[in-house]
Every structure is written in structure tokens, then in C-alpha cells.
Amino acid sequence: MPTFLRAPSGAQIALIKAVVFLICLLPALNLALGWYEDALGANPIETITRASGEWTLRFLLITLAVTPLRRYTGLHWLLRLRRMLGLFAFAYGAAHLTTYLWLDQFFDWQAIANDILERPFITVGFAAFVLLIPLAATSNSFAIRKLGGRRWQSLHRSSYAIAILGVVHFWWLVKADLLEPLVYALILAVLLGLRAWWRELERRRQLSVPPPAKHLERPVIRIVPK
């Protein structure tokens, strides 16, 4: 493996981040260009809503895939991309919700409330976005310091539930061809299954370590200088 991939310098990490940032922007730029050129099909609002929702789910899964990739490739710098990828998941989720509120419902809050209460897939999708908000708000070094590492990690484990809700939301939305939501569900099952397996391995490792025998514990002898 080339050195710049195994242990990139600070400048190379910055370059990788810039390239990944531009790649993450491509779906939004593609939609904007399609809107400008009137090339989003017969129902452009539906096209934007569906595309932004799918990219939200894809970025959620990509973010969850960072840890397994780092673990199995040894490329620890991949963790430095995770925050940006998670924020892109939030950004596409915000675009998905805004498209629904603005272009689909025209901010008719009564109709929106009825939708959330009466249509399960909208209820689930709305819940997933609400859960994403605190994760996006705490994706910075200041929040990590204020919350503490353990509380911050506990909060960000809700990303697993958000991804599940995202898959369920998409599954209920699709009425005919279930292949795509099935693929997302399988990817998510693998990612969550790996985490469950690692947790089990860690539990077994800890159980395999014998506790220190009491007769081996020696009293501490203080040496007092005279």
C-alpha cells in the first residue's frame, strides 16, 4: 500500500478531505443542474424529494462503514472523514425535509401534522431527522469537550437507530420494487452485525481474563523518609 494512503501527512489529509467534500456535493449539484435545465422529469419535486432522501440514507450507511473500514484496512485516518460524512447525511436530510415542507406541502402545517400522524413512513422519517439534529449539533470539538467522550459516544450511538428508521422509512415509501431498500437493509444489517460481533468478542476477552487472586494482593508498604 502506498505510504500516502497508509500514513498521509497533514497536507495530504487536507487534500483528501477537500476531494471527498467535492464528491459529496456532486448529488446536490446534479439536482441543481437538473432543476436549472428542467431535466428532472415530469415531477421534479418528487425527483428531488426521492434523491435527497436516498442520499441521506447512503451517507448514513457510508458514515457507519467508516469504522469497519478503518478496522480491517488499518487506515486510521479514515476516522477523520467520519464527521464530514455524517454532516453531509444531515444536510441531505435537511434538504429532503425542506423539499417536503416547502415544495410538496407549501408549509401547510395542518396538512403536515396530519401527514406525520396518519402516514407511518412520514412519522418514521420525521423521527429519524429529529434524532439527527443533536448529532449534527454536537459534531464539533467544543461539544465533545463539554459532553465528555463517554457521553458524546453514547449520544452518537443513536446513529444506529437513525439508520434503521431511515431504512424502514424508505421501505414503506417504495410501493413496488423493493430491491433497493432491500440492499440498504442488508448493508445496514452487516454493519450493525459487525458491531454486535465485536462487542461479543470484547465481552469474551474480558471474561477470559482471571480476576487477581486475593492472596496475591500485597499490602502497600509506605516508605516514610526519616
Residue 175 gets which letter from DSSP?
Answer: -
Query: What is the pLDDT, as a whole number, of residue 173?
Result: 87
Cβ–Cβ under 8 Å, residues 184 and 55 = no
Can you list the pairs that 220-225 forms with residues at least 24 positions away whose Cβ atoms lie under 8 Å? none
Rounded CA-CA distance 20/213 in Å is 53
Cβ–Cβ under 8 Å, residues 167 and 185 = yes
Cβ–Cβ under 8 Å, residues 166 and 60 = yes
Q: Which residues contact 80 (CB under 8 A, 6 or more apart)?
A: 13, 17
Residue 220 gets which letter from DSSP?
Answer: P
Rounded mean pLDDT of 65-72?
94
3-state secondary structure (DSSP) of residue 194 = helix
Domains in the chain: boundaries: 12-198
Phi, psi of 110 (to 5 degrees): -65, -45
pLDDT at residue 211 above 80?
A: no
Query: What is the pLDDT, as a whole number, of residue 125?
Result: 94
Q: Cα dihedral angle (95, 156, 22, 32), rounded to 10 degrees?
A: -10
Interval 140-179: pLDDT, tens: 889 998 888 889 989 999 999 999 999 999 999 887 788 9
What is this structure's pTM? Answer: 0.87
Phi, psi of 169 (to 5 degrees): -55, -45
Interval 105-136: pLDDT, tens: 889 999 999 988 889 899 999 999 999 999 99
pLDDT band at 225 (very low <50, low <70, confident <90, very high): very low
Sequence length of the chain is 226
Rounded mean pLDDT of 21-34?
96
Going 163 to 15 to 91 to 171, the CA torsion angle's sign is: negative
pLDDT at residue 7 above 90?
A: no
